[in-house]
Homo-oligomer: A and B are copies of this chain.
Amino acid sequence: MSDSTVLDLSEKKTSRRRFLRDGGIAALVAGVATACKPDPKVPLAAAAQAPPGQTGGTMGAHDTAAGASAMSSADTMDAMHEKGIKSFPAKTAGLGNQLLPPTLDKGVKVFELTAKKIQWETEPGHMVEAWAYNDQVPGPQIRVKEGDRVRVVLHNHLPESTAIHFHGLELPNDMDGVPYITQPPVKPGQSYTYEFTVPNAGTNMYHSHHNSTKQVGLGLLGAFIVEPKETTAYDHADVDEVLVLNDGAHGYTFNGKSFPATQPIVAKLGQKVRIRFMNEGMMIHPMHLHGMHMTVIAKDGWLVPAPWKCDTLNVAPGERYDVIVNCNNPGTWAFHCHILPHAESERGMFGMVTALVVQK
């Protein structure tokens, strides 16, 4: 059944060698690079170096005359696709969702958030106007424990009024952050202080609740993670990642960046990865993981009655899902929104694409 010939085997080796040469992704698989410091110069991955024909697919010869004539335009397209993937993860200025360490004031964990207009690089060379907390999109990650006393001080350096809603937290009404319903708007130049005891655990969010279509769309959003008082095995996952989905003025983004500037999730073989999806956009995003399934353990911060498995998880605006991936399959796995026009064009992958890298 094989189409293999001496000719196509040699061709295959060539193309495989070219395809793997100094690839950033291949380097990640080798286990010497991390999400933060990819090094494209390291030796290639073990899987990619397996003997041809054993684990890899087999490329056959050209078997139609039509093939040759279509090659040049196909090559042009492929070169664009290759270039994007080879540059992943591409460097851009700024990183969102950075953990914000609180200061302590008599036992109260204090977080300062300054909202202002900035320039934000979503992919190499693509600058957009963002309205951001502490100069990052998503805003800094707030991470506290159930029962903590928390103070969030908002400084409004925007040209509009604003306010913060703690989406998912069951706070006293006057901490709910909805101008004219639970508080006055925070005017340009003003600051406003929220203070509360964290009532419920889980994967939650904070974002503007004033002129929100524009303000959230421009970046006034972040993760608010509450660790439970009574932990479960889920709370001891080896890797714990937040993945904020967005589709507003900045295009299709994961944690404020578009492919190839998205950050891969990196784990070792055998580790358990917890991913906390949050949709801050206006559209659904069915997230598809290659190679391994996801086990859904929580919805909107609440543990589900019985975990369930999937490889494509539909996340609607405002929803959060926590999943566990048991990393038992080594390699670099595409991980993307399965609304294909959110992830790939004729010029290659873009937007809502990243990878889960399982290192041997």
Contact = CB atoms under 8 A, between A and B. Distances in A.
A38 interface: no
Interface stretch (A91-99, A131-139, A140-148, A177-185): A177-185
Interface in A59-92: 59-71, 73-75, 77-78, 81-82, 85-86
Interface residues of A, number: 134
Interface in A161-213: 161, 165, 167-168, 170-176, 178-195, 209-213
B188 A70 contact: yes
A153 interface: yes
Contacts of A2: 153, 193
Interface stretch (A118-126, A230-238, A307-315): A307-315
A341 interface: yes
Given A153-B1, A318-B338, A184 B19 contact: yes
A339 B280 CA distance: 9
A139 B305 CA distance: 36
Contacts of A299: 308-310
B291 A189 contact: no
A150 B281 CA distance: 41
A3 interface: yes
A176 B331 contact: yes
A254 to B, nearest CB: 16
B286 A86 contact: no
Contacts of A6: none
Contacts of A186: 59
A120 B50 CA distance: 41
A188 B310 contact: no
A180 B348 CA distance: 11
Contacts of A194: 57
Which residue of A67, A73, A209, A282 has the most chain B CB atoms within 10 A of its CB atom?
Answer: A67
A86 B180 CA distance: 8
Given A1-B151, A293-B300, A316-B284, A173 B331 contact: yes
A103 interface: yes
A47 interface: yes
A257 interface: no
Contact of A66 (B157, B182, B355): B157
Given A168-B311, A182-B331, A184-B16, A291 B67 contact: no
A290 interface: yes
A317 B339 CA distance: 6
A340 B217 contact: yes
9 contacts: A12-B184, A68-B188, A70-B188, A173-B332, A173-B333, A181-B355, A213-B344, A216-B340, A312-B320
List 9 tightest A-B contacts by C-beta distance, closest first: A67-B189, A173-B331, A318-B338, A60-B191, A305-B306, A62-B189, A302-B309, A70-B188, A314-B316
